[in-house]
Amino acid sequence: MSEEILPLRLIVQKFKYLDEDHREKVREKCLKYNIEYENCIFVTQLVYCPLKRLFHEAYPDLVIQNYYEPKVIIGRLVAYGLEHVLNNFDYSDWIFKSEVEGEKVVKVDNINYLILGRIDGVIQSKIHDRRIGVEFKVTAHDLPPDHYIEQCKIYNLMFDLEYCYLVMMNRDKIYTYVVDEKYDDNDLLNLVEEYVSMVHIPRWDWECKICPFVKLCPFSRGE
């Protein structure tokens, strides 16, 4: 093995290990709720095209290629770095908890779906019943895209947050948006209904341009 590519291969192998470990934890949660694995949906999947999840399962080789995308590597390294630095960090009357996980069961057409979320961080007050979310994004966008905002709205419901800080980072600047709107249970139910019924394929007009499955999808709108 060439030593020049060793660091990259080590990073990717670590990502694969972490993802497989997370999948095992998801399977355990599915057993806990007696819900089929294919009926477990992540919040990050809900805000994208519903076909993407199916393609992920059907074409794992293409998913592996995505591990080598520079933007994916940078985003994950930033996330893991922040987790390591900030987890259990005390600041005055607040404490930061990183990689907080939550779940909600939603029933659609008499089928239970387990909706899983993992927010980058929750800032918990030590003296008041206040919880504030933090979601970090490494992105080229100058304004928060709709799917990032939608993700934060769901987290506000799932983790009972007062609001969520959406922290956008790129090579030139870091800026923060406050997402104080919160989904209610009916909003989440409607979103899950749309997702499992595949009402929106794709969900956003721009998705096909960056989708690794664009050449395989019969609904593709082109590259």
Mean pLDDT, consecutive 10-residue stretches, the chain (223 aa), reads: 65 78 86 92 94 87 77 82 80 87 94 94 89 90 89 97 92 90 96 93 89 87 63
Residue 4 is given by DSSP the state G
The Cα–Cα gap between 187 and 161 comes to: 16
Residue 4 is predicted with a pLDDT of 55
Residue 13 is predicted with a pLDDT of 80
Q: Is 154 within 8 Å of 166 (Cβ atoms)?
A: no
Residue 124 is predicted with a pLDDT of 92
Residue 222 is predicted with a pLDDT of 60
Give me the residue spans of the domains in the chain: 3-201
Residue of 91, 92, 111, 112 whose CA lies nearest to 103 = 112
The Cα–Cα gap between 28 and 207 comes to: 31
Residue 2 is predicted with a pLDDT of 54
Look at the pTM and tell me if it is higher than 0.85: yes
Whole-angstrom CA distances from 22 to 15, 32, 60, 132, 199 are 11, 15, 16, 24, 29
Q: What end-to-end distance do the CA atoms of the chain give, in Å? A: 34
| CATH ID of 3-201, from 3.50.50.60, 3.40.50.360, 3.40.50.10310, 3.90.320.10 | 3.90.320.10
